[in-house]
Amino acid sequence: MAIACFNQELKTGTAPLRMFKALILDSHSLIPKIAPQEKLVCKYTLIMSDIAFNKIESVVYEVKFEASSDDGCICKMTSKYHVKAGVELKEEDIKHGKDKATGLYKVVEEYLAANPDAYA
């Protein structure tokens, strides 16, 4: 597998801890407030897990949240598995991870239903 790496530096007049908190820890809250045109999309890469990582180099996830006609939303998830050379990945190899993700979404949905002011 080929890897391309790019480095970039940006100088700011803000202390490192404040930038880290704003851009990393709380970006999910801050960015929609200051840049509302951002899409409700999150893309990230998982490099370690208990999900068949004896067969997988990494997994790239993309999660999109779109409004549905009933005032809810549709969560669209794409998972791209980068499989180790010479290994075949089967559906049962990733079923456990898919089940855990679905369970987590349900727990969050139940929490938000029980706490209507949370994350409003």
Q: CATH no. for residue 94?
A: 3.30.530.20
Tokens of 34: 């200051």
Q: How far is CA 119 from CA 45, 52, 116, in A?
A: 25, 33, 8
Write out pLDDT tens, residues 55-80.
Answer: 788 888 888 888 888 988 888 888 88
- What's the domain range around 78? 39-114
- The total domain count for the chain is 1
25 occurs within a structural domain: no
Residues forming beta bridges with residue 118, ordered by sequence position: none
pLDDT (average), residues 10-31: 82
83 occurs within a structural domain: yes
In our burial notation (b when 16+ CB lie closer than 10 A, e otherwise), range 100-118 reads ebeeeeeeeeeeeeeeeee
95 occurs within a structural domain: yes
The pTM of the full predicted model, rounded to 2 decimals, is 0.64
82 occurs within a structural domain: yes
pLDDT (average), residues 34-42: 77
Q: Tell me, what's the pLDDT at 2?
A: 43
Percent of residues, the chain, with pLDDT higher than 90: 1
